[in-house]
């Protein structure tokens, strides 16, 4: 939690001094650290909320979204009600213990719905700037912002949230111009207008991102359909002025592990895709070694079905997979008990491992600017059922054709000029102007200028 609070946190989270030391040591290694900023809600145990619950008006009365009557709930949202002397129901963002902070309503429709320029909504905004100042001044390099497009309510076109983040962007430009900002929004045309540097695709909503990795028949499973994803991706790409700042993660703490649905060598094809698309690649810890979703775990602090994707990193074959020297029963979430669980050390020693393939792909991406965020993209094959994904990346006259075929059928493409294979997995062959890509294969072909 990012908020300064009087709530006593569990010692396992460490101290602010511990985090400052982490910033310092990371910076010595040329690394940067961004924190997960959750601006939409606090805990119901937070001092702001306990003050807000009081019947007497005070500094925090309007810090959260409250109705005027205990008998009225916010339409379309859950609420906390009947827990204090204050007359009203408090909107929650998701879980019961997450009272929603008040950033105002773009279109107020009820007396209790305050506009964006109300005193309470502006006070919340300034308090959030103070939270950001607190961490940035101590060495944090920026933030990944949880549900960034949801703060202003009743804002169907996103105009209120865009304006809110433009104001925060102005504050950052003045005080912390180097701070990196990544939005969890899923609508890059809006988040980039708001001043974010890049947008992080959501795993729900209209992006069709999970058509690739997590559905009954995911594309990289070999029998799925990527065409709806391609259509939505290109729509977002054009709307965001082809800036290539749409980030596609391998996974995150809110979804199943990539390895739960994508099996064997097809995982390498998934990374060939992730590391050849525009936008900064995001690799969820452990996905690069194929860590499993751990089935049947008891929920930990609201994890529920997501808990199986949050097990500790598996470093080596020592106790607790090298993650901790504590007794196993003391771990926050258990280690994957599978006897064949993958480890970073084991895969580092194996040139054919998933980790080794990911390293090769990262090196190729770093070698060619065309494969990085600034390179344009044009799809040639949309990955409809039975067909591969194929797309042309181009930058400053250089062109690289990417073909990724997780299906059980080979595919042929006619090359526009002579081609040089700069990366391949599986099988491929160039004869004259014809490129043949085998089943369960990927190839990057650099075309002559």
43: which residues sit within 8 A by CB, 6+ positions away? 1, 5, 7, 49, 97, 98
- The SS3 assignment for 76 reads coil
Strands (E), 367-418: 376-382, 389-395, 398-405, 411-414
Q: Residue ranges of the chain with pLDDT lower than 50?
A: 1-6
Architecture in CATH for domain 11-359: Alpha-Beta Barrel (3.20)
Token couple for 253: 């703490």
In CATH, 375-447 is 3.30.565.10:
no
Determine the pLDDT at residue 202: 82
pLDDT tens digit string along 180-208? 999 999 999 999 999 999 998 888 788 89
Task: Give phi and psi for 78, each to the nearest 5.
Answer: -75, 175
CATH 2.60.40.1180 domain span(s) along the chain = 375-447
Please name the residue ranges forming H helices in 63-198.
119-136, 159-175, 188-193
Task: Give phi and psi for 200, each to the nearest 5.
Answer: -100, 115
Determine the pLDDT at residue 327: 96
Residue 156 contacts residue 118 (beta carbons within 8 Å): no
The enclosing H or E element of 239 equals helix 227-239
115: which residues sit within 8 A by CB, 6+ positions away? 104, 105, 108, 121
CATH 3.20.20.80 domain span(s) along the chain = 11-359
What pTM value is reported for the model? 0.93
pLDDT tens digit string along 31-60? 999 999 999 999 999 999 999 999 999 999
Q: Which residue has the tokens 């101590």?
A: 138
The enclosing H or E element of 234 equals helix 227-239
């Amino acid at each position: 939690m990012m908020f300064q609070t009087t709530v006593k946190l569990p010692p396992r989270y460490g101290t602010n001094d511990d985090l400052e030391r982490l910033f310092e040591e990371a910076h010595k290694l040329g690394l940067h650290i961004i924190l997960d900023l959750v601006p939409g809600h606090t805990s119901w145990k937070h001092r702001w909320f306990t003050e807000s619950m009081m019947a007497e008006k005070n500094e925090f009365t309007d810090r959260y979204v409250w109705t005027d009557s205990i008998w009225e709930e916010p339409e379309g949202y859950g609420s906390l009600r009947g827990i204090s002397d204050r007359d009203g129901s408090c909107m929650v963002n998701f879980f019961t213990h997450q009272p929603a902070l008040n950033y105002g309503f773009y279109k107020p429709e009820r007396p209790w719905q305050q506009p964006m320029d109300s005193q309470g909504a502006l006070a919340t905004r300034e308090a959030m700037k103070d939270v950001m100042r607190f961490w940035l001044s101590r060495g944090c390099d920026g933030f990944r912002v949880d549900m960034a497009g949801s703060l202003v309510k009743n804002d169907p076109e996103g105009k209120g949230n865009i304006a809110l983040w433009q104001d925060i962007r102005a504050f950052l430009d003045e005080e912390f111009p180097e701070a990196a900002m990544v939005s969890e929004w899923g609508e890059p045309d809006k988040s980039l207008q708001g001043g974010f540097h890049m947008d992080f695709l959501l795993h729900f909503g209209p992006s069709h991102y999970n058509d690739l990795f997590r559905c009954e028949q995911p594309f990289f499973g070999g029998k799925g359909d990527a065409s709806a994803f391609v259509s939505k991706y290109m729509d977002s790409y054009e709307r965001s002025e082809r800036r290539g700042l749409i980030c596609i993660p391998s996974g995150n703490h809110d979804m199943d592990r990539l390895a739960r649905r994508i099996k064997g060598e097809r995982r390498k094809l998934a990374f060939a895709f992730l590391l050849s698309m525009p936008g900064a690649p995001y690799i969820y810890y452990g996905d690069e070694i194929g860590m499993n979703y751990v089935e049947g775990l008891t929920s930990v602090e609201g994890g529920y079905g997501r808990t199986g994707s949050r097990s500790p990193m598996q470093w080596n074959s020592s106790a607790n997979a090298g993650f901790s020297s504590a007794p196993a029963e003391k771990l926050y979430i258990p280690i994957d008990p599978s006897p064949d669980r993958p480890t970073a050390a084991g895969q580092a020693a194996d040139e054919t491992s998933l980790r080794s393939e990911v390293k090769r792909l990262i090196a190729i991406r770093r070698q060619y600017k065309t494969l990085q965020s600034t390179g344009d993209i044009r799809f040639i094959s949309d990955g409809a059922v039975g067909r591969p994904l194929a797309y042309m990346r181009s930058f400053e006259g250089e062109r690289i054709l990417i073909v990724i075929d997780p299906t059980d059928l080979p595919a042929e493409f006619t090359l526009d000029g002579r081609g040089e294979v700069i990366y391949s997995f599986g099988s491929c062959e160039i004869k004259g102007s014809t490129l043949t890509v085998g089943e369960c294969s990927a190839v990057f072909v650099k075309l002559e200028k």
